[in-house]
Amino acid sequence: MAARPAGEVTPVLTAHGVRRSFGPTVVLDGVDLAIRPGEVVALLGGSGSGKSTLLRILAGLDADAAGLVDRPKDLAVVFQEHRLLPWKRVLDNVSLGLTGPGVRERALAALEEVGLRGRDTAWPVELSGGQAQRVAVARALVREPALLLLDEPFGALDALTRLRMQQLFNRLRDQHGFAALLVTHDVEEALLLADRTLVLEDGRLVEDSPVTLPRPRTPDDPGFGTLRRHLLDRLGVAA
Amino acid sequence: MTTAAGTAAPAAVPAHPLDDADTPAPAPPGRAGRRWQRPITPVVLFGVWETAARTGLLPPHKLPAPSDVLAAGWRLSGDGTLLVHLLDSLQRAAIGLAVGGGLALVLGAVAGLLRIGDDLVDPPVQMARMLPHLGLVPLLIIWVGIGEELKITLVALGSFFPIYFNTYAGIRDIDERLVEAARTCGLGQLARLRHVVLPGALPSLFLGLRLAIGAAWLSLVVGEQVNAQTGIGFLMMEAREFAQTDVVLLGLLVYALLGLLSDLALRIAERRTLSWRRGLQAR
B17 has pLDDT over 50: no
Q: What is the ipTM of this complex?
A: 0.88
Q: What's the Cα-to-Cα distance from B43 to each of A77, A117, A214, B36, B48, rounded to whole Å?
A: 62, 55, 81, 12, 9
∠ CA B264-B267-B272, rounded to 5°: 130
Mean pLDDT, range A182-199, rounded to an integer: 94
B98-143 per-position pLDDT tens digit: 999 999 999 999 999 999 999 999 999 999 999 999 999 999 999 9
- Which residues in chain B have their CB less than 8 angstroms from residue A143's CB? 185-186
User: 3-class SS at A76?
Assistant: strand
Distance from CA of A168 to the nearest CA of B (A): 21
For chain B, the first-to-last Cα distance in angstroms comes to 35
Task: Specify the pTM.
Answer: 0.81
Between chains, do B184 and A59 touch, taking CB under 8 Å as contact?
A: yes
Query: Residue A55: pLDDT band by 50, 70, 90 thresholds?
Result: very high
Farthest-apart Cα atoms in chain B, separation? 76
Q: What is the 3-state secondary structure (H, E, C) of B66-123?
A: HHHHHHHHHHHHHCCHHHHHHHHHHHHHHHHHHHHHHHHHHHHHHHHHCHHHHHHHHH
pLDDT in tens, B247-264: 999 999 999 999 999 999
Distance from the B43 Cα atom to the nearest Cα atom in chain A, whole angstroms: 42
Instruction: Note the pLDDT of residue B276.
Output: 87
Query: Contact A225/A190 with Cβ under 8 angstroms?
Result: no
For chain B, say whether A77 makes contact (Cβ under 8 Å): yes
CA distance A213 to A232: 17
Nearest CA in chain A to B13: A86
Residue B178: is its pLDDT beyond 90? Answer: yes
Contact (Cβ atoms closer than 8 angstroms) between residue B208 and residue B166: yes
**A35: β partners:** A13
3-state secondary structure of B215: helix
Distance, CA of B107 to chain centre = 19
pLDDT band at B278 (very low <50, low <70, confident <90, very high): confident
Cross-chain Cβ contact B17/A126 below 8 Å: no
pLDDT value of residue B156: 96
Helices A129-141, A103-113: crossing angle, 10 deg rounding: 130
- pLDDT tens per residue, range A147-157: 999 999 998 88
pLDDT at B197: 95
Give the number of C-alpha atoms closer than 13 A to the C-alpha of residue A75, restricted to the C-beta side: 22
Check CB contact of A97 with chain B, cutoff 8 Å. Answer: yes
Nearest to A81 among B177, B191, B283 (CB): B177
* End-to-end CA, chain A: 44
Estimate the crossing angle of helix B81-113 against helix B115-129, to 10 degrees: 140
Order of all β-strands in the sheet with A13-22: A25-35, A13-22, A66-70
pLDDT at A105: 95
Q: Where are the alpha helices (DSSP H) in B173-229?
A: 176-184, 189-192, 198-223
Q: Is B185 on the interface with A (CB under 8 A)?
A: yes
Give CA–CA dist A84/B195, Å, rounded: 12
Confidence label for A100 from pLDDT (cuts 50, 70 and 90): confident
In chain B the domains, ranked by start, together with CATH numbers, are 66-277 (1.10.3720.10)
Helix, strand, coil fractions of chain A, as percent rounded to 5: 35, 25, 45
Nearest to B102 by CA among B173, B152, B159: B159
The model's confidence at residue B246, banded by pLDDT at 50, 70 and 90, is very high
Whether the Cβ atoms of residue A76 and residue B184 lie closer than 8 Å to each other: yes
